[in-house]
Amino acid sequence: MKALLSDSRVETILKSGRKRDLKHFIDHPQDLDFCWPSYKIVLRQKYRITDIGIWVDYLRMLDRCGKDLHNAHYVCPADLKAEHDKYQNKVRILQEQEKRKEQMKRARENEARFRELKGKFFGLEFTDGTIVVRVLDSVEAYYDEGNALHHCVGQCEYYLKPDTLVFSARIEDKRVETVELSLETFKVLQSRGLCNKNTKYHKRIMNLVHKNIALIRKRMAA
């Protein structure tokens, strides 16, 4: 604290009369270190920060998005809240992209094991004329299914479960429900639509799978 109070940067802020900003930096000295080059621009531009906490968060998001923190255009936004919200959304998108890349990396690592477990079922599909139920035949397909229907069939690595088989039930190639079948009892364990909810086709999908158990057994015996 004594070192901070003797810091010339603190003296500069104090002389500018920005007491709220100063209090924040005293309470969060790491923010002062990170923000100081940008804050000097704020002082030179005589820009008034409406909310120092939001401004610091905004600056960190700018940095995360690779923006120039020495550019007054970014550092001194006309509408801080609006720009904060805009870059918050950009960071969220970046995080989702990074998460997706990590999922795909993990998928590639697990593909060989998945093929060993489920390869004999690849290409298996059946239909009642409207609904088509087909086996998910790659790890990436599990992630695509989960991302499309907002459930965890990919993230929870259902593709590595040795005693179940997962199908995608579709109408005109549009995903309707994801079906998990036990390879021990040959009963449907679950069939989930968007956000884990049942659809109006739920019973019809369940019945379609159960009617085609013989095809699944035949693949198992191959």
Q: Where are the domains of the chain?
A: 2-78, 111-221
Query: If you count them, how many residues does the chain have?
Result: 222
Find the mean pLDDT for residues 4-13. 82
Q: How far is Cα 140 from Cα 97, in angstroms, rounded to an integer?
A: 15
For residues 157 and 166, the answer to whether their CB atoms sit within 8 Å is: no
- Residue 4 pLDDT greater than 80, yes or no: no
Percent of the chain with pLDDT over 90: 82
Supply the DSSP string of 104-152, one letter for each residue.
Answer: HHHHHHHHHHHHHHHGGGTT-EEESSSEEEEE--SHHHHHHHHHHHTSS
The pLDDT of residue 64 is: 96
Lowest mean pLDDT among 71-80, 136-145, 150-159, 209-218: 150-159
Q: What angle do CA 26, 30, 36 make, to 5 degrees?
A: 85
pTM above 0.75, yes or no: no
DSSP state of 160: G
Classify domain 111-221 by CATH architecture: 3-Layer(aba) Sandwich (3.40)
- 168-206, pLDDT tens digit by residue? 999 999 999 999 999 999 999 999 999 999 999 999 999
For 99-152, write each residue's pLDDT tens digit.
Answer: 888 877 887 888 989 999 999 999 999 999 999 999 999 998 998 999 899 999
The answer to whether the CB of 109 falls within 8 A of the CB of 101 is no
pLDDT at 5: 62
CA–CA distance, 158 with 199 (Å, rounded to integer): 21
